[in-house]
Amino acid sequence: MSASGARRPKVVFEGVSKIFRKRGDDLLVLDDVSLTVRDGEFVCLLGPSGCGKSTLLNIAGGFERADRGRVTIDGEEVREPSSRRVFVFQEYGIFPWASVWDNVALGLRHMPAGERGAIVQATIDMVGLGGFERAYPMELSGGMKQRVEVARALAVSPDVIYMDEPFGALDSLTRLTMRSELVRIWQQQRPTILFVTHDVDESIQLADRVVVLSARPGRIADVVEVGLDHPRDLGSPEYGRIKNRLYELLGVQHTI
């Protein structure tokens, strides 16, 4: 049994379907998606643009309602957003008028100042932004801004983190760095992560399992277990085999 298989179910999708209605027409975006994500597992949702990856994430986060089926977390149906489940987006969601410190502290305003300060500082240090506590977003690089958003998500100790192509706007070298940093942080904290991407390499480098969705309407084409230790050897035969399998599922001719 894999490590992921030994953990208890955390996020469970049960026959989830979603229809968008535009100008009187029904557009089936997701069709009968069933999936179990284990506690502490890192799962990537991979698929072509428009296949419903982000919609599935929004349903899990309580921002959209399924037309059929349901999503449960720890056995309770998701009906609305919760502070225990946080989002990290591609477009920076940090406030430009607030410092790094104040952005990270946003979700901790209910705490006593001393406790809040300790958590904020520890989280800023964890993402490698020590020394930039009083800097403002306009003074930061793209990768640093994304670190601020990750820190803000981690500061509230969420059960689940939803990430919607968070590194898509970064240059290739910064993306590689951020992937490594995210894995390091995940290994320390072990939140459950659902990560949307259309990048095959990104999914293999990050995930315990890769869930491949078909073109719209999104259905699960397959779930591929990566089973490689971190840090992952991008030149290994097993990495190449997994990569070829994912491209095959996406309908792309590709051979390593």
Pull the structure tokens for residue 157. Answer: 């100790």
Condensed to tens digits (0 to 9), the pLDDT of residues 80-133 reads: 999 889 998 766 678 999 999 999 998 898 889 999 999 999 999 988 899 999
What pLDDT is attached to residue 6? Answer: 62
- Cα separation, 108 vs 131, in Å, equals 21
Strands of the chain, DSSP E: 9-22, 25-38, 42-46, 68-73, 76-77, 85-89, 160-164, 192-197, 209-213, 220-225
Could you tell me if 225 and 208 are in contact, meaning their C-beta atoms sit under 8 angstroms apart? yes
**Reported confidence tier of residue 56, pLDDT bands at 50, 70, 90:** very high
Residue reference for tokens 């690089």 = 141
Locate the domains of the chain by residue range: 1-80+192-256
Q: Which whole number is the average pLDDT over 35-48?
A: 97
Confidence of residue 2 (pLDDT cuts 50, 70, 90): very low
- Angle made by CA atoms 90, 94, 100, in degrees to the nearest 5: 125
* Nearest in space to 35 (alpha carbons), one of 237, 255, 235, 218: 218
Task: Identify the pLDDT of residue 133.
Answer: 96
Say what the pLDDT of residue 91 is: 63
Q: Which carries the bigger pLDDT value, residue 59 or residue 2?
A: 59
Cβ neighbours of 86 (radius 10 Å): 24
CATH architecture of 1-80+192-256: 3-Layer(aba) Sandwich (3.40)
**132, 125 Cβ separation under 8 angstroms:** no
Q: In angstroms, what CA-CA distances link 241 with 106, 196, 225, 238?
A: 43, 22, 12, 5
Distances (CA, A) of 39 to 72, 89, 99, 236: 13, 22, 33, 28
| Residues 6+ away with beta carbon under 8 Å from 153 | 86, 87, 88, 161
Does the pTM surpass 0.95? The reply is: no
Q: Is 30 helix (H, G, I), strand (E, B) or coil?
A: strand
Confidence of residue 1 (pLDDT cuts 50, 70, 90): very low
The pairing of beta strand 42-46 with beta strand 209-213 = parallel
Is it the case that residue 146 has pLDDT exceeding 70? yes
